[in-house]
Amino acid sequence: MCSTITKEKQYVAAALHICTMALNATNFSSQALLDAQLELWHTTFCHIKSMALKTAVDLRIADAIHHHGGGATLTQIATQVTHHPSKTPCLRRLMRVLTTTGVFSILRHDNADADGDEPVYALTPVSNLLVGRSQNLAPLTAMMLHPVLVSPFFDLGAWFQHELPDPCIFKQTHGQTLWEMADRDATFDALINDGMVSESQFVMDIVVKECGEVFHGISSLIDIGGGLGAAAQAIAKAFPHVKCSVLDLDHVTTKAPTDTDVKYIAGDMFESVPPANAMFFKWVLHDWSDDDCVKILKNCRKAIPPREAGGKVIIMDIVVGAGPSDLKHREMQVLFDLYIMFVNGIERDEQEWKHVFTKAGFSDYKIIPVLGVRSIIEVYP
């Protein structure tokens, strides 16, 4: 035991020595200091990128460009978006940020001012997600960048100074939980519902195409916390043999559409879950603590048949460390983990998910990392 501790101390000392040498080697390099400042500024000003994107969504700039066939000059954009004419030069500066960051592109720019021609701004794969119908993520973007959801993070440092359990960051800022605000404020509730519906319509097309096999062999499915049922409707359309239902709170199901074969059930997943072959969770369990998830999943285990009879739980959520290993994917997963803290949620790695499944009485699981930063998890009783 002592030799192990000694080896650990030697390893730490060696690592610190290497770090110190590296720092000393760059302490006197002006370029290294400027590079460090650039990196610091790049992180510091990330919120400007977000706010530029929010402004593009608010002004519907992507729609303006789409209206002109996918390419538009600043003059053409200005005729479509709501802004004061005196701000047109500022609009040009906004477009410079949005093209530099890849939200839009410039089709013609070289010597544009010299020959009197304006640059033509075009949609990119990113801004294509802000127009159209089936793959339009503008409502989700508007939701996630809304001041009500952004402002709690200004109090993140203060939240860390309080002992757990304490109110989530959202409640610390607004005096009520997100769910309570949605229940009491119809406008905010619509913001949340519109955002989640747009996300469901986008991702479920991919789910059905890339991993539709997870819905094979089942005859009934309940989308737990499924809101207005966009995900359940997509599953029902792709797999007509599956009887799909949505379980959500009463104030949600009362707004559910009526022109669909999906059944809406008012209820509380913490109390009980109606019986079905499969339970489906899309971006739900990351909102809740381990103990809450265990309670929800135990209710699900009571409601589904044995594995041999097709019983399972299908979860769409982040598995930190699963999927592509490039920096952008990994960074997005851990950013989501910090983000979801605003409701006291958590993005789990495989071992953390396994702990929850085992504690809820499930025997096995399979992770299918086919959704970018998210995965499909099949959990078996």
What phi and psi values does residue 142 have, to the nearest 5 degrees?
A: -60, -40
Kindly state the tokens that stand for 254.
């009362």
Q: Taking the mean position of all CA atoms in its chain, how far away is CA 187?
A: 21
Would you say how long the chain is, in residues? 381
| DSSP count for the chain of H helices, then E strands | 17, 11
Catalytic residues: 286
State the DSSP string of 116-158.
TPPPEEEE-TTGGGGSSSTT--HHHHHHHTSHHHHGGGGGHHH
Amino acid at position 325, single letter: S
Cβ atoms of residues 57 and 141 within 8 Å: yes
Pairing of strands 374-380, 364-371: antiparallel
CA atoms within 13 A on the CB side of 159: 20
Kindly state the tokens that stand for 142.
């508007």
